[in-house]
Chain A
């Protein structure tokens, strides 16, 4: 009996293609694409939801405990750790920079903590959109100050001759893009209020337009909520927890899926342990997030990630960016039009296609859904 693969990331559109929709659970699972986005991959870090793919968790949720550190302190410690690693292995630090809040804070943290010699080893991988999104930062802190490369070529640049640092996971630390939908629908005080299944269902109704689907998925997500090791009391907590527990792994691996055939031999466990880092992907950030629900909740969309914007402001004194910059899914500009591998397994092998027996999990939580 052949053993199926343990999958880290899969392409949800590929496994829910029309011709596969008669497989148990696939039709119901397909609704997930409408809730988040077409290429958001669910892997449940609480092990409550069994998706129709043989997934395995790469980075479990850390055991909950309170930590007595500020967000800025954790950013500084992370930057120092990466700079030290760069010194130790004599490797440049290539930062994926979009001009958005997350990657700007990565560069701010590195520049704040770097010596002049270390700054010379920092290279920003960026695009025209990165300049457009934060022109002042480009003009004052990047142009002529650090090396610059075109971000679009990163699928051919991944190697063990550099550290690659991205601003991924800060959304999972601070909440969810669904905060905006919830605020738009229920008003500025709604996120801070006690979790309301009815209000949440109304928001999901904008995506699904089907009461049976909404109710079934609400039951599923409430099971994930019940598995949380920390309080998930408010509407904001609920949306954050869904994002934190279900989307984390997708975010971890998604950039790697675009790796060129010419560099995938570089991408193994050693690479992801020692060369490829999501700045906010540490236990310290996760514990800060789990222990500081008040820092995550917002009353208006402009305040989303306020802690992060405040740290940036203390560095560049750009009050306009602090007060008006809002989240903008900037990764799309880099990966749009690029060809993606559709599966990565736990051996870090990448595949465009896999035989069904290698990925399909018939014992999934979606197989008995009444739709």
Chain B
């Protein structure tokens, strides 16, 4: 849980994203404080995933900027004399990304590596952690997501829920400052959703700063500090769950809630 005095971890300022003729994000502002759980909801195509992907630079904002712990993402801190912004190199961007964990809708585990190998990969390859230390850490993380006994299984030998939990452990292995979840339960069979949500709740209770795109309104109500409703590329309503979910002001949100609840 965070308070208004907690330091700001994510600051999204007037972000626009244009794909060809498509204006996917039309000026989004979002502030997430340390230890806070922000849940993004909205109809498909509303720009939730794009906004999330702008936070860890999988998408480059067309306008506006994203700051993580007050550091501009993707550009040098100060503009050049002519007013342009100096883009960071690929290696510098990779370093910024390595501090942000991300979990995908379709897991994207590395199929040629075991569960343990998936979790060890980035600490060894990016941080240069010795293999033995990385393995100890990876086993502890797999234990945490309840998969200690699946460490030597390949992703194809795991259920969807198990794969997603390995993906969460893989992201946690980099000791991220914050975690992004892009519809983490949307590709799962209904009976497997709860095991993944349980891990998310556990993380939230531990004080992880999280941004979660989801359609699970029960989860939003229970865990979110702020619920953000997006529609047609802009944020229409945001606030505490009881305010946004239980007392929607806009007709758009009322209609959306009626369709998902």
Genuine A/B complex: no
Chain A interface (Cβ within 8 Å of chain B)? none
Chain B interface (Cβ within 8 Å of chain A)? none
